[in-house]
């Protein structure tokens, strides 16, 4: 069974934990620089947005569609 990390941009606090979890799942070690998720931060604007790779985005869309 494939696991999917669902990201809610509205709840993002910029902690970057999703980067560590993603890299651990894909690479076998917590290395955020190798993550397929990257948090775009503009702290002076209070803006944080997780950005995911296109393949992971398609998997997430299919997962959400099938679980509904």
Residue with structure tokens 């560590």? 20
pTM of the model: 0.65
Length of the chain in residues, anyone? 68
Q: Give the model confidence (pLDDT) of 21-38 as tens digits.
A: 888 888 888 888 888 888
Domain ranges of the chain: 12-67
Nearest to 38 by CA among 18, 54, 56, 11: 18
Mean pLDDT confidence for 34-60: 76
Residue 59 in this model has a pLDDT that exceeds 70: no
């Amino acid at each position: 069974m494939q696991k999917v990390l669902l990201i809610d941009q509205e709840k993002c606090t910029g902690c970057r934990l999703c980067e560590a979890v993603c890299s651990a799942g894909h690479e076998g070690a917590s290395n955020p620089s190798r993550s397929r998720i990257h948090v775009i931060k503009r702290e002076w604007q209070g803006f944080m947005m997780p950005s995911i790779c296109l393949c992971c985005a398609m998997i997430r869309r299919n997962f959400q569609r099938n679980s509904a």
